[in-house]
Structure 1
Amino acid sequence: MKYNLLALVLAFVAISCSSDGEKDYREENDAEIAAYLIENNLNATRSESGLYYVIEDEGAGKNISMISDVTLTYKGYTTNGEVFDTTGDDLASFNLQNVIRGFAEGLSYLNEGGKATLLIPAHLGYGSKDHGNILAGSVLIFEVEVYSPEMIAEKNDADIQAYIEKEGLDATKTESGLYYTVDEPGTGAQPTDESIVKIVYKGTFLNGTKFGESGSVGVDIELSDVIDGWKEGIPLFKEGGKGKLIIPAHLGYGSYNYSGMPGGSVLVFEIELLKVN
């Protein structure tokens, strides 16, 4: 899902090439980028720092700064086409203070919903030392698309529908975008969105990775204090009811990382309502 990102999101800072003993690759990087642009018929803008960027779509959402939280997809590769990192079709979410300088600067020319190609010389990337599978002095190219909340909701819905089809589920969608299945509706009391309830649950992402569970004895939860997907979904059952809630990010933990929960995540909960207090 969002856990295989190698080069970008592990709180690295750009490496300066001005330190003693480190080679300055700026001149040869500039020539390498110029040749790549000609070969690929790209019309790029060069910033004062030496970053090159091609904006395909500026985006119409919230403006991005170099300290913004962002949710996006990207593919990173070198000028010979070798891919060193990619999100694939998944979303990644992080703060731009925790990434290489060239990436943060490049995204600052976009708004949410924007799409661009960034060509990052080594002094704005990983400098004059090898970094994992990235060689010293490498020019890094990133194709990036920054997702707005509306785009995340649209992607979540498509991913949920694909999940439902794959799992063969008979799911219902509410007006808010919540999906749910009912294995047993229950026969006891029915809670409201402000009830205190005892619930057994297991939470996973769409890929099946588990992020939490209650255990068989269940937990007491005040529905006024939980995510909107639970607040809406739990009252769909009566005591003794069992089913599944499939919760898009806007009804869960939102577009950005929250307490270890990756931004933009769809959450799947298997639930059993034991008691309405």
Structure 2
Amino acid sequence: MTYRASANSGLPFDPVEHGEGAIAARTDSSSVLAATDESAMVAAASGTSVDLVDFGADPTGATNSDGAFGRAWASIKATGGTIIIPPGLFIFSTKEVLSLPSRRAAEQPKSVNIVGQGMETTILHWPNADGGLKIVVDDFRDSVNIADLTVTTGVPNGGEGIVYYGTDFYGGFLAYPMSTMRRVCARGSDGGNQRFYWTRGLGTRGVSGVSWYDCMVFGGTPSGENSGALGKGICVEGMDRTPGAVPRLVQ
């Protein structure tokens, strides 16, 4: 199957007033617009492209899609490529952890991409605590691009929605390739600013050269819209290599 990224860069409905059922109703093929934006160009220019559904993911939400990311990732991580996620509601019972291995000096840098079909059109949902998508890169010369999807949690304090971890630290900032996060939303499955929320919506740790475009994070509230917000939004965390030092957090 072939899917193209959506040109839609905004929310097609008010997440505070509508629940997950309304989201599922918008995942038919008519909600996918023509591929005119940069996400489609990224997918086309990044070598191998694979469809998450071909690796066992269920876009109807009727069954869990556990393991599909790992299988799709394994097929592209050696050389780079793109995981395309079609419209739909994909449910996962546990955190998905995807790792890019370190490369040898003679190997070319790798770029891996995870591309949905639009914010609130492609939805990745974790109903349990400690959910989310964690990407670990062991070589500073590799890059990750994520675009056009929403991650939801079905519990308060649900973990990290999407986090990009770098484990290979290098002092020369200009040596880092550019990674991006475009049109990604993190929220509770009951809408925005309701009972459910991510502990941290979107974030990076130990990674330089990441650009953020049109991302949205909705926190939670303990007792309605006039009470204080819960959860953190976009977290950018740097790692100090000094022994005993703590990460530096900007949010």
- What TM-score do you get using the length of structure 1 for normalisation? 0.22
Where relative contact order (Cα < 8 A, 6+ residues apart) is larger, the structure is 1
Larger radius of gyration: 1
- What TM-score do you get using the length of structure 2 for normalisation? 0.24
Higher helix share: 1
